[in-house]
């Protein structure tokens, strides 16, 4: 629960009593590399807190090509939030790119807490704000930054990313081809 507390503290300060209400909903799980957290086309019931490992969210088009929407490293909340809010099937899948330890919280149970506890309601508001700002930043990055700048930004956020996941996943996240990523890396590292 220590990592869950860190996440809660990142959003806003809530009382120990409110924290304990949230902790009572959380269950520990471990998943292996390649295991699914949540699949596209399913109606998810849970949100997840990634404590260890690296995970991704991705979309698969009608031709079977995967597009990585986001990469997640600890300590981070993940899951199909839009689908949970709308109570619809998710358009995105979430899976583990390495062995992962997660906390699982039933979304409906959490929302029920927000209705009866002002602090938890405020926490939920802060979480939604952060999700919105992250999405806005991602759109900005894809619209304004070139591929090299996006790569350097990811390297700043996840310094050892090349040791964690395959290059084709990094390229997909950056919305470039693996060949383009190789050229970027060669250009950057040949300057040193």
Q: Tokens 């689908």, residue?
A: 83
Residue-level pLDDT at 9: 76
Residue-level pLDDT at 125: 92
pLDDT band at 156 (very low <50, low <70, confident <90, very high): very high
Q: 31-45, 71-85, 87-101: which has the minimum mean pLDDT?
A: 71-85
Residue-level pLDDT at 192: 58
If one counts every other C-beta atom within 10 angstroms of the C-beta of residue 175, the result is 14
Residue-level pLDDT at 70: 92
**Residues written for the chain:** 192
Q: Tokens 């799980």, residue?
A: 29
Around 13, how many Cα atoms within 13 Å sit in the side-chain half-sphere?
A: 0
Is the pLDDT at 88 greater than 90, yes or no? yes
Q: How far apart are CA 28 and CA 161, in angstroms?
A: 25
**The tokens of 80 are what?**
């199909």
70: left (phi over 0), alpha (psi -120 to 50) or beta: beta
């Amino acid at each position: 629960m220590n990592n869950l507390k860190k996440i809660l503290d990142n959003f806003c300060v809530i009382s120990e009593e409110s924290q304990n209400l949230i902790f009572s909903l959380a269950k520990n799980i471990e998943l292996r590399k390649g295991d699914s957290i949540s699949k596209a086309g399913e109606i998810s019931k849970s949100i997840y807190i990634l404590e260890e490992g690296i995970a991704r969210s991705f979309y698969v088009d009608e031709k079977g090509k995967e597009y990585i929407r986001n990469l997640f490293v600890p300590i981070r909340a993940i899951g199909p939030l839009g689908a949970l809010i709308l109570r619809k099937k998710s358009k995105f899948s979430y899976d583990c790119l390495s062995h992962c330890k997660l906390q699982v919280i039933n979304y409906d149970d959490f929302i029920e807490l927000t209705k009866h506890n002002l602090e938890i309601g405020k926490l939920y508001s802060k979480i939604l704000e952060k999700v919105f700002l992250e999405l806005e930043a991602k759109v900005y990055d894809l619209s304004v930054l070139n591929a090299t700048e996006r790569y350097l930004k990811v390297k700043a956020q996840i310094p050892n990313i090349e040791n964690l996941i395959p290059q084709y996943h990094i390229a997909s996240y950056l919305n470039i081809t693996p060949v383009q990523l190789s050229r970027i890396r060669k250009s950057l590292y040949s300057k040193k």
